[in-house]
Every structure is written in structure tokens, then in C-alpha cells.
Amino acid sequence: MLGHAAELAPDLSAELAARAESVAPETLRGLVPRLHPTSTAALAERRDPAANRQALYGSSRAAPIVVLEDPRHLGNVGAVVRLAAGIGATGVLTTGTTDPWHPSAVRGGAGLHYATAVERLALDALPDGPLYVLDPEGAELRDTHLPDDALLAFGTERHGVSDQLRARADHLLALPMRPQVSSYNLATSVAMTLYHWTTGTRTPR
């Protein structure tokens, strides 16, 4: 591990050397269900929930929150977190049973769970703000201005948004899509919507 740190993160190698701990191979196999080829594993605490709540429920948000309704694929959750952190969204909220801090989601997020607010909560506990729900029956995204305090909600990969979430929407939005195409990947849908937010204006067509 220290060799990897020296090569990839030399600014952290001294700190890692002070904290690193070697364990017996059988102990490592008990801690990590799928051992990485490097035989290296890291244990880390979740981001401070208080900091997450402050960011998500604060009175003046400067960027949207992404809401994933009952996502099923941990890799998709991680990819969305990576997108949200990279573009500067306030955070990512999930509903349902999938833990957005599952190791597979953290791996898919390339560690950027620590660069944005990531939480799981019930649908009735969403922060305040206008709720924009992505739905094929909605208004064209390119004709819509997305405010900085928006909640951008996306449904499941297979079934889309639930009737409950659709009923709560302040606005329904549809992504531009040719008739011959049935859907986009979840992360792609989030990326398109967040990018449109960064433009700050309606896009002429």
C-alpha cells in the first residue's frame, strides 16, 4: 500500500505510513469479501452526518440536490455521486433500501462521497426547494431554467419515478430524446440535467 501511496499520492504517503497497519492474510480475507489484486484495503468513517445535514437543509443552497428514488444499482449510485461532486451539486439523496455508502457505491464514486453530501432518507423528509421530477411526460429540459435551490429527482433504472413522487413534483421535466430511443442510463440522465443547470439559461433550439 505504501508503495502505491508514494507513487500516486506522495503528499499523503507520510500520513498513511503513520496510520497503516498490516494484518495477517486470513484476517484481511475476513474483513474484505472481494480482495483487490493489490491485497490492499482501506477502512474509513462516513462523512460527518452533521456536515451533510447542514449542507442539505441549510437556508441558502447555491446548487441543486440530486434525488435518486429507490436506485437498485450501486455502481449507478457511485457514478451519480462522482458527477454531483465534480460539477458542484449540493449533494445526493437516495430513497429506498439501497445504502448509498455501500462499499461498491463508494468505489463507483471514486471516493468523492467525501466531497459532497450523501445521505439516504424517506421521501417525505426531502429538504425544501422546488422539486423537478424527470418524467417523459414533462416539459422539455432545454426550455426550462433550473434554479440553484432545485431538487432534481430521478426514478429507478427500470420503472422511472413512482406515482407518489410524481404527485409531489412542482415541475415535470423530460430529457431530449429521439423517438427511436427508449431511455438513458441513470448517470447519463443526471449528467445531462446537471450540465443544463450549469448553463444558467434556457437553451435556444
Sign of CA dihedral 72, 73, 78, 82: negative
pLDDT, tens digit, 9 for 90 and up, residues 29-86: 777 767 777 766 667 778 888 888 888 988 778 999 999 999 989 999 999 999 999 9
Fold adopted by 49-199: Alpha/beta knot (3.40.1280)
pLDDT, mean over the chain = 86
pLDDT, tens digit, 9 for 90 and up, residues 97-128: 999 999 889 989 998 999 999 999 998 899 99
Residues with Cβ within 8 Å of 161's Cβ and at least 6 positions away in sequence, in order, are 69, 133, 134, 135, 153, 154, 155
Query: What DSSP character marks residue 100?
Result: T
129: left (phi over 0), alpha (psi -120 to 50) or beta: left
pLDDT, tens digit, 9 for 90 and up, residues 127-170: 999 999 999 889 999 999 999 999 999 998 777 899 999 999 99
Q: What is the H or E stretch that residue 66 is in?
A: strand 65-68
Q: What is the H or E stretch that residue 171 is in?
A: strand 171-174
The whole-angstrom separation of Cα 165 and Cα 184 is 20
pLDDT at 203 (0 to 100) = 47
pLDDT, tens digit, 9 for 90 and up, residues 182-205: 778 899 999 999 999 999 865 444
CB-count exposure of residue 86 (10 Å: 0-12, 13-18, 19+): middle
Query: Domain coordinates of the chain in residue numbers?
Result: 1-43, 49-199
The whole-angstrom separation of Cα 64 and Cα 88 is 9
Query: What DSSP character marks residue 147?
Result: P
Model-level pTM? 0.82
Query: What DSSP character marks residue 113?
Result: G
